[in-house]
Amino acid sequence: MTNTIFLQQLVNGVSVGSLYALVAIGYTMVYGILRLINFAHGDLLMVAAYAAIFGMGIFSNSWIAFPLAIIITGCIGILLDRTAYKPLRNAPRISLLISAIGASFLLENLFLVIFGGVPKPFPRPDFFASVIDIGALRIPVLTIYAPIITILLFLGLLYIVYRTKAGKAMRAASRDFETTRLMGINLDRIIALTFLLGSCLAAAGGIMWAMKYPQVNPFMGIFPGIKAFVAAVLGGIGNITGALVGGFLLGLGEIMIVALMPELAQYRDALAFVILILVLLFRPRGIMGETIVE
Amino acid sequence: MLRVDDLHVYYGGIHALKGIHLEVNEGRIVTLIGANGAGKTTAIRAIVGLLKLNAGSIVFRGSNITDLPTHQIIRQGIAVSPEGRHVFQNLSVFENLELGAYNLRTAEFQEQLEWVFSLFPRLQERRVQVAGTLSGGEQQMLAFGRALMSRPKLVLLDEPSLGLAPLVVQEVFRAIEEVNRQGATILLIEQNAMAALTIAHYGYVLETGKVVLEGPGAKLLKDEQVRKAYLGE
Ligand SMILES: Nc1ncnc2c1ncn2[C@@H]1O[C@H](COP(=O)(O)OP(=O)(O)OP(=O)(O)O)[C@@H](O)[C@H]1O
Ligand SMILES: [Mg+2]
């Protein structure tokens, strides 16, 4: 293993990790407010990718098509809450979980029926397609843009959650629904906002994922979705910063396995599950989670 | 200002409110007293739409609010300081107050904030502190102050003196009278019947889900039954 390859892997790990992070944040936000693992969250990656292909078909301009795809995915996130979760606000947690699994199957199969199972190529705009050389390193610009975009979106999210009234209402609601209502706050709006933000971030992750692995099919969200979920648990579910940290760590961990133990390279995808089991066994609240969630 | 008629609430099979009526006139302090489990908290929660009614009607300032969602009831000018304080533990004192004023404009917010700080100077000293680390008395002041932030016309206070030292209780009762003098109408729930009846213009006595006695505060204070049951004589 030469230094160059190692560095190349490192950059790659940070980049993939940033995509896990974007998706993990949505898991953690919805969990924080509804105590629900939103199983359909990973599928929003796929929804965003199709929406972006569709948008490119119409506008042939990624500056219009991508933001539009993000907004559409955000709206689908809200729709998901309205149809699959909102009717069950007072139902037992397990009903909600089953509804989430159902919603995930529904999205996947709906897209299978509409778009078929044949993977579609993803139109990568030139802006993201070039490769830069740093010494002996050859790095696709996307690999560099992904973590930068992630950090920028994350800072924007922190601003909303900690500085705006609606963000403060979100944090209040994550502890106490009834008292939040007593402030004259429309709780359903706040929950919708949570889904909107989480889904938009997942969409940004999904579009970058599709540019990185430009094969779009109805089931493409499952694996990154599961890994992002592990990242959220690793970081401490319910904690936004934790999700970011967990995402980067998981991305780095996977790459390091490949780099340091090449003979284990083919088990790379299993690492997430090993981490999940270890975290649940030894530190269920994750790296940054609070001692008591409920 | 607030008129509650024939209110029935069930928890599963338990008939917790058996047709209570209440009337709170503008500018008044009205108190609702009763033993543990009488249904006082249930009544407040039903009024603001946190509980589903099985029957009854609630009219606030001439409009029927019976089946409105909680946030809309609150926006009509009702504020609640709930039993057990329920401050947002993960937010700062200032953020708690901000949420109390969720539907106010910024200019109004500043004005309200100054007023609440003048009532409870302690909150101003501790404005950046995380609410979960406040003492019990301070949390009570915060819950009360947070309720006042929305410029309410009617304030519902559920046991604002619970678990407080006598001196702090006095402070809270003084604040209640001050808020009332400034124009807000108060519906006060209290275990401390003596203190409540002393400041109240009118009082209701609740027993196992029914109003068994009502009258001006001073008159209830002299009532034989009330003295026996609630003033420990
Ligand atoms: N969520 C609930 N489920 C079932 N029963 C309930 C529930 N909440 C209250 N009750 C019952 O309803 C009755 C009235 O309760 P409520 O809390 O209104 O009493 P209270 O007058 O406020 O008492 P306290 O002075 O102790 O606060 C009690 O018998 C109580 O056990
Ligand atoms: Mg009570």
Q: Are B164 and B136 in contact (CB under 8 A)?
A: yes
pLDDT for the residue numbered A294: 34
Instruction: Quote the pLDDT of residue B98.
Output: 97
pLDDT tens, residue by residue, B147-193:
999 999 999 999 998 888 888 888 899 999 999 999 999 999 998 88
Residue B118 CA, ligand 2 centroid: distance in Å: 29
Distance CA A229, CA A276 (A): 9
Quick one: pLDDT at residue B74? 97
Q: Which run of H or of E encompasses B74?
A: helix B70-75
B interface mutation test: which of A163, A182, A189, A294 has the most B CBs within 10 A? A182
**Residue A42 neighbours by CB distance under 10 Å:** 28
Q: What pLDDT was estimated at residue A293?
A: 39
Of A175, A182, A184, the CB nearest to B89: A175
Query: Quick one: average pLDDT of B59-67?
Result: 95
Report CA(A178)–ligand 1 centroid distance (Å).
16
pLDDT band at A169 (very low <50, low <70, confident <90, very high): very high
Q: Is B71's Cβ below 8 Å from some Cβ in A? A: yes
Which residues have C-beta within 8 Å of that of residue A137, sequence separation ≥ 6? A4, A7, A8, A11
Interface test with B, best of A179, A189, A240 (most B CBs within 10 A): A179
pLDDT band at A120 (very low <50, low <70, confident <90, very high): very high
Strands (E) in chain B, as ranges, are 2-11, 14-24, 29-34, 55-60, 63-64, 78-81, 154-158, 185-190, 202-207, 210-216
Which residue, among A165, A161, A162, A190, has the nearest Cα to A176 in the 3D structure? A190
Asked if A247 contacts A231 with a C-beta cutoff of 8 angstroms, the reply is yes
What SS3 class is residue B5?
Answer: strand
Question: What is the Cβ-side half-sphere exposure of residue B172, based on CA atoms within 13 angstroms?
Answer: 29
Q: Where are the alpha helices (DSSP H) in chain A?
A: 3-34, 43-59, 62-80, 93-115, 126-129, 141-163, 165-173, 177-182, 187-212, 222-235, 240-260, 271-282
Instruction: Return the residue whose CA atom lies nearest to atom 9 of ligand 1.
Output: B42
Ligand 1 atom nearest B40 alpha carbon: 21
pLDDT of residue B233: 63
Task: Provide the token pair at A249.
Answer: 């760590």
State the amino acid at position A181 in one-letter form.
R
Residue A290's pLDDT band, with cuts at 50, 70 and 90, is low
DSSP secondary structure letters along A42-103: THHHHHHHHHHHHHHHHH--HHHHHHHHHHHHHHHHHHHIIIIIGGGTTS-HHHHHHHHHHH
pLDDT reported for residue A292: 43
Contacts 24+ apart (CB under 8 A), B70-77: B70/A181, B70/A182, B71/A181, B71/A184, B71/A185, B71/A186, B71/A187, B73/B47, B73/B48, B73/B49, B74/A181, B74/A182, B74/A183, B74/A184, B74/B48, B74/B103, B74/B150, B75/A184, B75/B103, B77/B150, B77/B151, B77/B152, B77/B153, B77/B154
Q: How far is the CA of B207 from the centre of ligand 1 (A)?
A: 12
Helix axes A165-173, A141-163, angle to 10 degrees: 80
Q: Given this model, what pLDDT does residue B58 score?
A: 97
In this prediction, residue B163 carries a pLDDT of 80
- Cα A62 off chain centre by: 21
Tell me if B186 sits within 8 A of B157, measured CB to CB: yes
pLDDT tens digits along A171-216: 999 999 999 999 999 999 999 999 999 999 999 999 999 999 999 9
pLDDT mean across residues, chain A:
92
What φ, ψ does residue A150 adopt, rounded to 5°?
-60, -45
Given a cut of 50, whether residue B68 has pLDDT beyond it is yes
CA–CA gap between residue A265 and residue B45 (Å, rounded): 59
Indicate the pLDDT class of residue A129, thresholds 50, 70 and 90: confident
pTM: 0.93
Contacts of A172 in chain B (CB under 8 A): 88, 90-91, 99
Q: Residue A193 is encoded by which pair of tokens?
A: 């906002």
pLDDT of A266 above 90: no
- C-alpha B78/C-alpha B179 separation (Å) is 14
- Do A184 and B48 lie within an 8 Å CB cutoff? no
Distance CA A249, CA B217 (A): 65
Residue A28: pLDDT band with limits 50, 70, 90: very high
Closest CA to ligand 1's atom 6: B11
Architecture of domain A3-282: Orthogonal Bundle (1.10)
Query: Long-range contacts of range B217-221, CB-CB < 8 Å, 24 or more positions apart?
Result: B217/B29, B217/B31, B221/B194, B221/B197
What pLDDT score does A1 carry? 55
* pLDDT for B49: 96
pLDDT of res. B224: 86
What interhelical angle do A3-34 and A222-235 show, nearest 10?
A: 80
Pick from A105, A40, A100: which is nearest to A76 by CA?
A40
For the Cβ of B39 lying below 6 angstroms from any atom of ligand 1, the answer is: yes
From the CB of B30, is ligand 1 less than 6 Å away? no
CA–CA separation, B148 and B107 (whole Å): 16
